[in-house]
Amino acid sequence: MRTHSTICVLLYIFLGSLSVVTACGNLLVIISIIYFKQLHTPSNCLIFSLAVVDLLVGIVVFPFSMSYPLSSCLYYRELFCKIRDSFDVVLSNTSILNLCCISVDRYYAVCQPLTYRTKINICVVSVMILMSWGVSIFIAIVFVITEVQQKKCEPNCYLDDVLEKTCLPIMAFYLPVIIMLYFYLRIYSVAQRQARSIQNIMNSGVTVSNGEKKATRTLAIVMGVFLICWLPFFLCFSLQLTGRVTIQVYETLNWFTLSNSMLNPFIYAFFYSRFRSAFRMIISGNIFQGDFSNSKLL
């Protein structure tokens, strides 16, 4: 019994730490973009939206999701579950769609730099953000309605269950993944062509090698971390139709998806030197010693 209680306490500490790290990392991104005028760009608006979503995941979904892994210690209430699932679906899907929008932004910035400022402006970015939230709320409503109907109907609800376990993952995950893969592969292809052009001009194989390695490493980290965090969960979600997936496995994989919100600040912000400079000024407390909003971030 004492060992069981110790495990519960350790789980609380570990999962609570993940929640704190997620909240603090995304809060740094939010403060940086709000405070430093140099970061007031349409592209950073998408990163800001992503950080807001991931911050809410850290302070809302993380604490709610701690209830099930610790359900052997706490009373697991059905209403509480529905509230948790609603927040989880909305915020997680919004996070995925924001990542998808960022891939579109990066594509135009790298592949069409001459028309980037006209095609990706504050109005376009605002529409992207509103659509991300709107589609996520729609998916959540469909998910909740389907769950409620399944509680009321007979075994002939199998068709509804199939639609939920197939259509929702396609809309919420597989389609955004295809879009992200398409744009990131296009970015990588353009980066390779640019590197070859530099090689022809400068006759330097080292430049090409470093450029290609950097592009490969960055894109591999972006897509690799995203797929590692999300793909197992959605495969498990679809496999629930077979009845071979236990709720413990399902909830464990759900924690992998939530960890993506903790890693996003490192992936999408820490790669940029301007954000790193902003973080150093915030953490050191320099911004409280004067007005540094116009500072040039290197």
Which residues are within 8 A (CB) of 60 and not within 5 positions of it... i.e. 6 or more apart? Answer: 87, 91
Band of pLDDT at residue 286, cut at 50, 70 and 90:
confident
Non-local CB neighbours of 18 within 8 Å, separated by 6+ positions: 62, 258, 259, 262
Q: Over range 17-30, report the average pLDDT.
A: 92
Q: Is the pLDDT of residue 166 over 80?
A: no
**Cα 40 from chain centre:** 21
Calpha distance 185→182 (Å, rounded) = 5
Task: Kindly list the domain boundaries of the chain, sorted by start residue.
Answer: 2-288
Least confidently predicted of 20-34, 96-110, 119-133, 281-295: 281-295
pTM: 0.84
Mean pLDDT value across the chain: 79
Rounded Cα distance, 230 and 227, in Å: 5
Select the more confidently predicted residue: 66 or 185: 185
- Across 7-11, average pLDDT: 76
Averaged pLDDT for residues 265-271: 77
Tokens 């979503």 — which residue?
Answer: 53
Right CATH for 2-288 from 1.10.10.10, 1.20.1070.10, 1.10.490.130, 3.40.50.300? 1.20.1070.10
Is the confidence at residue 189, as pLDDT, over 90? no
Predicted confidence (pLDDT) at residue 178 exceeds the cutoff of 60: yes
Of the ranges 43-57, 76-90, 189-203, 233-247, the best mean pLDDT one: 43-57
Q: What is the mean pLDDT of residues 52-71?
A: 79
